[in-house]
Structure 1
Amino acid sequence: MSGWWNDNNGNYNNQVEPILDDISRTNTMGDPKMEKILHEDVNTTIKEKTSQKRIIMKRRYREDGDINSLSREMMKQYFYMPITKAAKELNIGVTLLKKRCRELGIPRWPHRKLTSLNALITNLKDLLGNTEGKTPKSKLRNALELLEMEKKMIEEVPDLEFGDKTKRLRQACFKAKYKQRRLFSSSS
C-alpha cells in the first residue's frame, strides 16, 4: 500500500497496488501486452494474465462528490433520527456525516432537541383534549403554536437554543409528569 497526503481535501489518499504472487512476478510484470483489464468495478478489478483470471484488488471506493452533494435541505429529513441511523440511511459513516455537518454549519445533530419538542407538543395536545375548564384552551393553543414555530426554526437553524418560554414549558411538563408518577406510586 502506498499513499500520499492530499492538501486539497486534507485526506490521506490510499492507492491500492496489485497483490503479486510468484507466478505474476516473473517476466510479465513489465510487459503491458500480458496484462489486460477485463472488468473494472467499484468493488473489484479482475485482470487476465496469460489466460487465467484472478481477483487482484478488492476495495470499496467512495466518490467525494457524493458527500459534497449533501445539502442542509437533504439532511433536514434525517434530523428526526439518531445520527448513527441517519448515517446508515445515507450510506456514509458517522464521522463523514459529522464532518459534512460542520462544513454546513451544524455543530450538533438536532435529534434530541426535536424529539424533546415533539414530546412537548404531544403532551400539550393530550392536555388540550383533556381539559375541562382547568386552564384556558387559548393559552394551550398559543403554547402549541409557539412550539410548532420553535420546531420549524430548529429545523432551519439546528444550533438554535430553546427560548425562555419553551424552557419553562418543558420544565412545567417534567414537573407535572413527576407529580403524576409520584401520585400513582404512592396510591399503589
Structure 2
Amino acid sequence: MRFHGEISEWRDDRGFGFITPTGGGTRVFVHISALQKGRRPRAGEMVTYEVGNSGDKGPRALNVNFVNALPGRRNESPRRSFFPVVVLVLLIAAGAYGARRFVPSDIFQAINIKQQSPRAQAFACEGKIYCSEMNSCEEALFYLDSCPGVQIDGDGDGVPCEKQWCNE
C-alpha cells in the first residue's frame, strides 16, 4: 500500500531523512537508497512511499517517488551548451585566416627569417644597449627581439639601427 507524505527533514551529508505522513502520525525514516535515482530530496517536497519495518527502529520508507516528478524524466542538472565554445573557435579561426590573407606576406617572411636564421642562435644578450655596440643588422635584430633595455629603435618602427646597420 502506498502512502503520501512530505519530506520533513533531510540530511544530505548523511544520506537520510524523515517523511511526515500527510494524514499525520509517526515520522517515517527514509534512506537515500529508497529514492528515485538521479535526484536528491529537499525538505517540504511531497512523496509517495511504501512502508517497511526496520526492526526496533520503527517504520522505514521504501520505493519513494516524488509527487511532482515528470514520468520518464530525472531531475538532473541542465546540459551545458557548447554553442559559445563553437563560436569562439570559429572567431579565432576567422582571425587567423584574415591575418594570413590580408596582412602583407613580407611581414610574415621577415618574422620567419628572424626565427630561422642560424646566425641568430650565435648571439646572446651581453648587455649591449646602443647601435654603436652592434656588429651587424642581424645582431641588432636579435637584441631588439630578445634583450631588455635596448635603445636601438629610435623611431619605434621595428627596424633597429637604421642609420648604422639596417638601412633598407
Shorter-chain TM-score range: under 0.3
Structure exhibiting the larger radius of gyration computed from Cα positions: 2
Q: Highest relative contact order (Cα 8 Å, sep 6+), 1 or 2?
A: 2
TM, length-normalised to structure 2: 0.23
- Normalising by structure 1, report the TM-score: 0.22
Query: Is the helix fraction higher in 1 or 2?
Result: 1
Which structure shows the bigger proportion of residues in strand conformation? 2
